[in-house]
Amino acid sequence: MRLDKFLKVSRIIKRRSVAKEIADKGRILINGKVAKSSSNVATNDELVIKFGNKTLTVQVNELLETTKKDDAERMYTIVKEEYAQDFRQSADK
């Protein structure tokens, strides 16, 4: 399955066009290698997705052509979620 389609169907990224844009900017790695939107994703692949402040690492569990919202989370497991700067902490000033 193409990377951009996987990200959309799994609901990691809501729109395929946005997934394509992020991938083509080199912000997604598949098993440690920079991926394009047309790269193939297989089960057990590890994806590292760099959003603005957040880096999400997921393990691909299964590939489904279409999903309902409840089934989308079965497609992957979140391995790690990191923030360059954590804005969620309360500021004590």
Look-up of token digits 């959309």: 8
- Give the predicted TM-score (pTM) of the model: 0.80
SS3 78: strand
Residue 87, pLDDT score: 66
- Judged against a pLDDT cut of 50, whether residue 93 lies above it is answered with no
Task: Give the Cβ contact number of residue 76 at 10 Å.
Answer: 21
Query: In CATH terms, is domain 1-81 a member of 3.30.470.10?
Result: no
C-beta of residue 41 within 8 angstroms of C-beta of residue 1: yes
Place of tokens 């609901």: 11
Flag whether pLDDT at 90 surpasses 50: yes
Give first-to-last CA distance, the chain, whole Å.
49
What DSSP character marks residue 60? E
